[in-house]
């Protein structure tokens, strides 16, 4: 017996919000059960770097009091939220996955998005594990330990927002925030069988987050259904005049019927694992069978790996400039591997860095041209499923995701089934800039009509 209801905690946030609104569940009960589940399950999963139970329960009780008084702030009021540990939360230490002591000075102010979500009534549980400094896609963290994939112990949840994907999949929060620089929200979403959005560039402020790349960074939500992501968007999409990247976009809403949408799909998926290729082909057929207009595009001449390497170089240059003062003062915060990666980037000439930036422009133009004749591009999220920590990480994990970061288009990963090996697979939908809400609605349509969901069995979790 447990003193928490795992089936309840694995429900999507929209359903939990409905229970709260009908007074069939209190935020205090939801939060307390979440904390008990973390206490029971997280020693094995290692999703959290830090948990703040007293602050969370106080926020939950305040939400319940607002509900009693009829002063609810938003549909998010009372839902639990966990935050990747490179986003500032006032009163909580921000480690960015580095070896920063737990008793270090906490953040004085909320990141802009945290302030918006707190105002909406979210109950912040704690800070989530991540790949060191967000530069990697396995969440094999040398300081805070490996975060495990809830679907398979010993396997990666993806990265760099691995703790976010794993915590959502395991029911250890209702909603989570991650950051996505080359796929770091969508890859964990794919590996963990949940939904994750990289918003249109500039739609969501990155103010108050630890920088990896000025050009490529995005803050994005992860949840157990696309509709949950939609719940978060009104709070996330607000202009931040203190953030140079914030554009204050007005996001279009209202998805057209699927049969009125134009889709592009890949003719050649030979570069991905067989299981992914078969699931992707079936997903495209699902759209066609329901009347969607699908045209096939040939990207065989596109150098995915070269584009990824250009983005990686610019990340290493940007992060060195950002981290240099702290690196000089506290080199013990950084692993030798991370130091070497930053030194490699800063050792490149200005001409090489500019060439990488130009290549990212070329990638942006290519994707924009492809999307000029269609509404949505359908892609696998990752070329493979999650893999064991004991095997080398595939070099091309971000090959299919980094393009949207370079071009600024919104992209969402939604589950498209379980592989024969028992691991989740993700379908990626890339849409027009500013069409985030329509993209979320389309992803929810796919979730509702295709047999792609990857829910965890509560008993499987409790037995792990």
Which of the 8 DSSP states describes residue 408? -
**pLDDT recorded at residue 444:** 97
Known catalytic residue at 225: no
Question: Is pLDDT at 84 greater than 80 in this prediction?
Answer: yes
Mean pLDDT confidence for 326-347: 95
Tell me what pLDDT residue 457 has: 83
Burial state string for 206-233 with b = 16 or more CB within 10 A and e = fewer than 16: bbbbbbbbebbbbbbbbbbbbbbbbbbb
For residue 237, give every residue at least 6 positions away whose Cβ sits within 8 Å of its Cβ, in sequence order, or none.
Answer: 199, 203, 204, 249, 251, 436
Confidence class of residue 269 from pLDDT cuts 50, 70 and 90? confident
Spatial separation of the C-alpha atoms in residues 174 and 159, rounded to whole Å: 19
Tell me whether residue 84 is one of the annotated catalytic residues: yes
Asked if pLDDT for residue 436 goes beyond 70, the answer is yes
All domains of the chain in start order, with CATH: 13-304+354-389+396-463 (3.90.1300.10)
Mean pLDDT value across residues 251-269 = 89
How buried is 302 (Cβ within 10 angstroms: 0-12 exposed, 13-18 middle, 19+ buried)? middle
Hey, CA dihedral for 235, 238, 242, 245, is it positive or negative?
Answer: positive
The one catalytic residue in 63, 84, 161, 413 is: 84
pLDDT band at 32 (very low <50, low <70, confident <90, very high): very high
Q: Are the C-beta atoms of residues 263 and 377 closer than 8 Å to each other? A: yes
Look at 413 and 2; give whichever has higher pLDDT: 413
User: Residue 252 above 80 pLDDT?
Assistant: no
Structure tokens given for 116: 């918006």
The pLDDT mean for the chain works out to: 96
Task: Establish whether 307 is a catalytic residue.
Answer: no
**Residues 327-347, mean pLDDT to the nearest whole number:** 95
Min mean pLDDT across 35-39, 184-188, 296-300, 377-381 is at 296-300
pLDDT score of 164: 99
The reported pTM is 0.97
Task: Give me the catalytic one of 63, 164, 184, 225.
Answer: 184
Give the pLDDT of residue 131: 98
- N-to-C CA span, the chain: 15
* Tokens 């707190």 found at: 118
Which residues are CB-contacts of 121 (< 8 A; sequence separation ≥ 6)?
A: 63, 66, 72, 73, 74, 76, 77, 78, 79
Residues 226-250: what's their mean pLDDT?
93
| Residue 254 clears pLDDT 80, i.e. is over it | no
pLDDT above 90 covers what percent of the chain?
91
CA 161, distance to chain mean position in Å, is 6
425 pLDDT exceeds 80?
yes
- Angstrom CA distances, 331 to 72, 99, 129, 184, 382, stand at 46, 10, 21, 25, 34
> For residue 1, what pLDDT band results from cuts at 50, 70 and 90?
low
What residue has token string 């892609």? 379
How much of the chain, in percent, has pLDDT values that exceed 70? 100
pLDDT in tens, 124-155: 999 999 999 999 999 999 999 999 999 999 99
Mean pLDDT of all residues in 261-290: 95
Q: How confident is the model at residue 379 (pLDDT cuts 50, 70, 90)?
A: very high
pLDDT at 284 over 80: yes
Q: How far is CA 392 from the centre of its chain?
A: 23
Residue with the bigger pLDDT between 282 and 461: it is: 282
Pairwise pLDDT comparison (268 vs 223), residue with the higher score: 223
Residue 152: DSSP 8-state: B
Catalytic residue (one of 27, 63, 74, 160): 160
């Amino acid at each position: 017996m447990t003193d928490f209801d795992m089936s309840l905690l694995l429900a999507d946030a929209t359903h939990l919000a409905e229970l709260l609104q009908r007074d069939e569940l209190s935020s205090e009960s939801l939060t307390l059960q979440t904390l008990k589940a973390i206490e029971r399950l997280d020693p094995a999963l290692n999703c959290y770097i830090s948990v703040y139970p007293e602050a969370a329960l106080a926020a939950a009780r305040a939400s319940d009091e607002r509900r009693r008084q009829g002063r609810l702030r938003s549909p998010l009021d009372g839902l639990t939220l966990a935050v990747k540990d490179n986003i500032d939360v006032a009163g909580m230490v921000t480690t960015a996955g580095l070896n920063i002591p737990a008793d270090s000075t906490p953040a004085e102010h909320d990141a802009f998005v945290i302030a918006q979500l707190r105002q909406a009534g979210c109950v912040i549980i704690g800070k989530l594990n991540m790949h060191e400094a967000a530069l990697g896609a396995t969440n094999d963290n040398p300081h805070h330990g490996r975060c495990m994939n809830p679907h398979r112990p010993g396997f990666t949840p993806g990265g760099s927002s691995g703790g976010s994907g794993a915590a959502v999949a395991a029911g250890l929060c209702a909603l989570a925030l991650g950051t996505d620089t080359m796929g770091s929200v969508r890859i964990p979403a794919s590996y963990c069988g949940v939904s994750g959005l990289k918003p249109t560039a500039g739609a969501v402020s990155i103010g108050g987050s630890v920088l990896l790349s000025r050009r490529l960074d995005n803050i994005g939500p992860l949840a157990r259904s696309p509709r949950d992501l939609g719940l978060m968007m009104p709070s996330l999409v607000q202009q931040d005049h203190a953030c140079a990247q914030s554009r204050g976009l007005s996001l279009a809403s209202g998805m057209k019927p699927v049969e009125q949408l134009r889709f592009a799909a890949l003719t050649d998926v030979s570069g991905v694992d067989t299981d992914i290729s078969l699931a992707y082909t079936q997903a495209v057929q699902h759209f066609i069978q329901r009347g969607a207009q699908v045209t096939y595009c040939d990207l065989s001449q596109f150098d995915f790996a070269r584009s990824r390497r250009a983005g990686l170089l610019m990340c290493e240059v940007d992060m060195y400039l950002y981290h240099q003062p702290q690196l000089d003062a506290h080199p013990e915060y950084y692993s030798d591997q991370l130091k070497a990666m930053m030194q490699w980037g800063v050792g490149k000439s200005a001409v090489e860095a500019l060439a990488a930036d130009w290549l990212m422009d070329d990638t942006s133009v290519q994707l924009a041209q492809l999307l000029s004749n269609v509404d949505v591009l359908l892609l696998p999220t990752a070329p493979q499923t999650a893999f064991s920590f004991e095997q080398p990480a595939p070099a091309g994990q971000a090959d299919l995701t980094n393009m949207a970061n370079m071009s600024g288009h919104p992209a969402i990963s939604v589950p498209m089934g379980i592989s024969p090996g028992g691991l989740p697979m993700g379908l990626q939908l890339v849409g027009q800039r500013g069409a985030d809400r329509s993209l979320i609605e389309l992803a929810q349509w796919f979730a509702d009509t295709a047999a792609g969901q990857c829910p965890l069995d509560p008993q499987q979790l409790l037995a792990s």
